[in-house]
């Protein structure tokens, strides 16, 4: 396992980092019966994430789904292996297998999938997750052939207006819009603890398992240890003259983040021709749903 990665690390170090990301998981409750963390292995590096839960559960993001999106946001989508650590009862998820097969369909790279418990005991492994799921023929995205891996974060430049930096990095995020057959591109950037994180949309073929650009940017920040998101910038080629808007799902997603951190989130939406609109999240979603 992990033998082909140029960034090969001792297995004990992998396990240690997976446990770290179990702690970084964004959970509905502080105590939970189930948690997971995953690492995506490419020839360039290792991408880690924990689980992201939603109060509604409609917006839950598995750790496997998250690492696919984070690797793609870093222009490093050719994932050869995913290793997950689970805390609690494990049952193989057909949904996760579907997500892995869907990713391979667009990259052409088979994904080995292995699951361990928190003590390092192997619970499941397969050499190619697509073998477990009916996957239509591969339709590799042309644009990823020229991608060079990068970090999708930077430090805020105090000499440049925040709005300008949000636009610049939302546009950079738009470069990694990961979707087949779409005419519109979306990009987003978030500011958390003095850093900017950015991404495009990570979509699925059936459009039902999409992670919107601002969601992936937020997960990037959270899994980097920076939860206190204060700004979100959005841009889309679909909105040429007037600023785009955050969808209802993402308003709920960020409302839950704001509820947990206590930090007010400001939304800056851009049009392609340079206009922008600014709102506090509380204006965007005055009555977010929050359970006890």
Summarize pLDDT for 40-84 with one digit per residue, the tens: 999 999 999 999 988 766 789 999 999 999 999 999 999 999 999
Mean pLDDT to the nearest integer, 8-27: 89
Residues 231 and 155 in one domain: yes
Residues 112 and 172 in one domain: no
Percent of the chain whose pLDDT exceeds 90: 75
Residues 155 and 279 in one domain: yes
In the block, tokens 């603890």 appear at 193
Beta strands 153-155 and 122-126, pairing class: unpaired
Q: Is 289 among the domain residues?
A: no
Tokens of 178: 């990961």
Q: Is 292 among the domain residues?
A: no
Percent of the chain whose pLDDT exceeds 70: 92
Q: Is 64 among the domain residues?
A: yes
Structure pTM? 0.87
Q: How many domains does the chain have?
A: 2
Q: Nearest CA to 128 among 82, 94, 93?
A: 82
Domain boundary among 120, 140, 160: 140
Task: Considering only CA atoms, give the Rg of the chain.
Answer: 18
Mean pLDDT to the nearest integer, 81-94: 94
For residue 274, is it left (φ>0), alpha (ψ between -120 and 50) or beta? left
Q: Is 162 among the domain residues?
A: yes
Q: Is 5 among the domain residues?
A: no
Domain that holds residue 134: 11-140
Residues 181 and 257 in one domain: yes
Domain boundary among 107, 140, 173: 140
What is the spatial distance between Cα 78 and Cα 68, in angstroms, rounded to a whole number? Answer: 9
Residues 85 and 164 in one domain: no
CATH number at residue 61: 3.40.140.10
Mean pLDDT to the nearest integer, 180-209: 89
Residues 271 and 155 in one domain: yes
Domain boundary among 108, 140, 172: 140
| Higher per-residue pLDDT: 23 or 57 | 23
């Amino acid at each position: 396992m992990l033998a082909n990665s140029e960034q090969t690390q001792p297995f004990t170090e992998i396990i240690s980092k997976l446990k770290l990301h179990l702690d970084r998981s964004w959970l509905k409750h502080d105590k939970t019966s189930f948690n997971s963390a995953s690492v995506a292995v490419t020839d360039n590096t290792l991408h880690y994430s924990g689980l992201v839960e939603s109060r509604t559960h409609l917006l839950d993001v598995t750790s496997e789904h998250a690492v696919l999106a984070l690797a793609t946001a870093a222009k490093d989508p050719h994932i050869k292996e995913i290793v997950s650590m689970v805390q609690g009862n494990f049952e193989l998820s057909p949904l996760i297998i579907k997500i892995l097969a869907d990713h391979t369909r667009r990259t052409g790279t088979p994904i080995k999938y292995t699951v361990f418990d928190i003590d390092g005991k192997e619970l499941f492994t397969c050499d190619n997750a697509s073998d477990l799921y009916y996957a239509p023929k591969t339709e590799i995205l042309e644009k990823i052939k020229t991608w060079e891996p990068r970090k999708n974060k930077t430090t805020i430049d105090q000499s440049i207006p925040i709005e300008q930096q949000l636009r610049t990095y939302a546009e950079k995020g738009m470069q990694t819009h990961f979707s087949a057959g779409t005419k519109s591109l979306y990009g987003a950037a978030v500011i958390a603890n003095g850093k900017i994180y950015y991404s495009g949309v990570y979509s699925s073929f059936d459009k039902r398992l999409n992670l919107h650009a601002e969601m992936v940017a937020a997960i990037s920040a959270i899994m980097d240890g920076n939860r206190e998101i204060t700004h979100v910038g959005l841009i889309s080629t679909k909105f040429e003259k007037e600023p785009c808007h955050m969808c209802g799902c993402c308003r709920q997603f960020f409302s839950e983040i704001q509820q947990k951190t206590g930090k007010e989130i400001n939304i800056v939406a851009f049009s392609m021709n340079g206009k922008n609109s600014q709102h506090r999240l509380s204006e965007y979603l005055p009555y977010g749903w929050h359970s006890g």
